[in-house]
Amino acid sequence: MQAVVYRGPRDLRLETLPVPRIGPNELLVKVAVCGVCPTDIKKMHYGTVPPPRVFGHETAGTIVRTGARVRGFAVGDRVALHHHIPCMHCHFCRHQAFAQCLTYKRTGITAGFEPAGGGYAEYVRVLPFVFPGVIKIPARNTFQEGAMLEPVNTVLKGIRRLNLLPGDNVLVVGVGPIGLMFTRLLALEKMRVLASDLFPSRLRLAKKLGAKVLLQANDPKFAEAVRRSTGKQGLDAAIICAPVDAAVQQAQELVNGAGKILLFAHTKRGAKMPIDLAAICADEKDLIGSYSADVTLQKEVARLVFSGRMPVRELITHRFSLAQTAAAVDLAAQPTPDSLKVVVDQTLSGR
Ligand SMILES: [Zn+2]
Ligand SMILES: [Zn+2]
C-alpha cells in the first residue's frame, strides 16, 4: 500500500509499505479522509519524536477486515477513529484528566512502525484498546464529517473546562478552524462570542457561525473595543487559539475577576512570559490549559457533527490526495487568508 512516511524533520516520503496484518481482536480500516492536525505538524517539523512513523490521527474510513474474535463491527462499516483512549480507572482517569493517563498516551492505530495514527496511509490497523473510540458514521454523513469528530471533541472538552454560563462574554482569539469550532459550540450554548483574527475572511465566517462581535486582532484600540462591546458585564473568559504570548497577557488584563483564560495552542515547550501572579491569586483569574480529547464527550460530539449543528463542511477548505500529503502539511502549517482545515482525502481521484 501507499503510505506517507515521516523520515525526519520536514521529510515526508510517499513509500510502499505492506498492508498491516491484523490480529484476532483487531480491525483493518481503509482510510478515506484524514485531517491535518497542528499537533502532528509540530512533531513533523521539529522532530520531537524519532522517525520512521506514519502520522495522521483525524481518520475516517471503512472497515475492510475484522479479526476472528471481533464483535460489534463488520466489514463495510464506515467509521471515525480515535487513536487515544484512556483506561478509565487509573489515578488520572478518576480525576477526569484523561490526557495524562498512561494508556491514553499510547496510540492504538498504526499503518506500520511505532504507532502514530497512520491516517496518511491507505490502510490502518486498529488495536482493541481504542475500540471504545470507534464511531460508526451514519449513512447520510460524510467521511469528512467523521474525520472532524476528534478536533471538535478537543474543542468541546476545552469549553467544559471553563464552566461558563449562558450569556457570558467569551473572547475567542484566533478563528482558524479550531477558533471557529469554539465560536460555534459556544454560540450553541448561548454564550456571547467576541471573535478576533487578522484575516477578515475568517471573521466573516465567525459571524456566520454565531460570533456577535468581530475584532481585528491588530487593531491598536483592541482592548478598548473589547471593553466597549462587553459593557458593564465585562469579559468572562478568553480562549487563546493561537500561540501568541502577548494575547495571553492581554487576556489576563481584559477578563473580569474570577474570569478564565484557556490556553489551547501553546503546545511548544519552553515558552515563558511574565504574568501578574496577583491577578491569579487575588483577582481569581484562572489560567487553564486543555489538551487533546475526552472520550466521555464523544457521543455528544458525534450528535453535534452528524446533525449538522456543528457544521464542518465550510471549515474544510482544502483537500489533497495522499501523494500530496507534504503539500497539505505545508499549507496547514502556513495558513493563507482563504485556508482553514486541510485534509488528505483519498476518495479524490487523480489529483
Ligand atoms: Zn488532532
Ligand atoms: Zn487512566
pLDDT digits (tens, 9 = 90+) for 254-300: 999 999 999 999 988 888 889 999 999 999 999 999 999 999 999 99
Residue 349: its pLDDT value, please?
66
CB 306 within 8 A of CB 149: no
Residue 256: its pLDDT value, please?
98
Residue 312: its pLDDT value, please?
95
Q: Cα–chain-centroid distance for residue 161?
A: 16
User: First and final CA of the chain: distance in angstroms?
Assistant: 18
d(CA 327, CA 313): 21
Candidates 198, 199, 205, 200; CA nearest to 182 is: 205
Query: Domains of the chain, with CATH numbers?
Result: 2-153+294-345 (3.90.180.10), 162-289 (3.40.50.720)
Q: Which regions of 224-314 does DSSP assign to beta strands (E)?
A: 235-240, 255-263, 286-289
CB 43 within 8 A of CB 49: yes
Which contiguous run of DSSP H or E holds residue 78? strand 78-80
Q: Using CA of residue 137, residue 78, residue 100, residue 239, what is the dihedral sign?
A: negative
Whether this model's pTM surpasses 0.85: yes
Query: Three cell numbers at 34?
Result: 484524514
CB 196 within 8 A of CB 175: yes
d(CA 98, CA 150): 14
CA of 94 to the centre of ligand 2 (A): 7
pLDDT digits (tens, 9 = 90+) for 99-131: 999 999 999 999 999 999 999 999 999 999 999
CA of 23 to the centre of ligand 2 (A): 24
CA of 223 to the centre of ligand 1 (A): 31
d(CA 222, CA 251): 11
CA of 107 to the centre of ligand 2 (A): 14
Query: Strand 123-126 and strand 109-110: pairing?
Result: antiparallel
Query: Three cell numbers at 53?
Result: 512513523
Rounded to an integer, the average pLDDT of 172-182 is 97
Would you say residue 351 has pLDDT above 90?
Answer: no
What torsion do the CA atoms of 337, 339, 341, 342 make, to the nearest 10 degrees?
-150
Residue 39: its pLDDT value, please?
86
CA of 90 to the centre of ligand 2 (A): 4
d(CA 150, CA 142): 15
**For ion ligand 1, residues whose CB falls within 5 Å:** 37
pLDDT digits (tens, 9 = 90+) for 299-320: 999 999 999 999 999 999 999 9
CA of 280 to the centre of ligand 1 (A): 30
Ligand at shortest distance from the CA of 105 = 2
CB 179 within 8 A of CB 206: yes
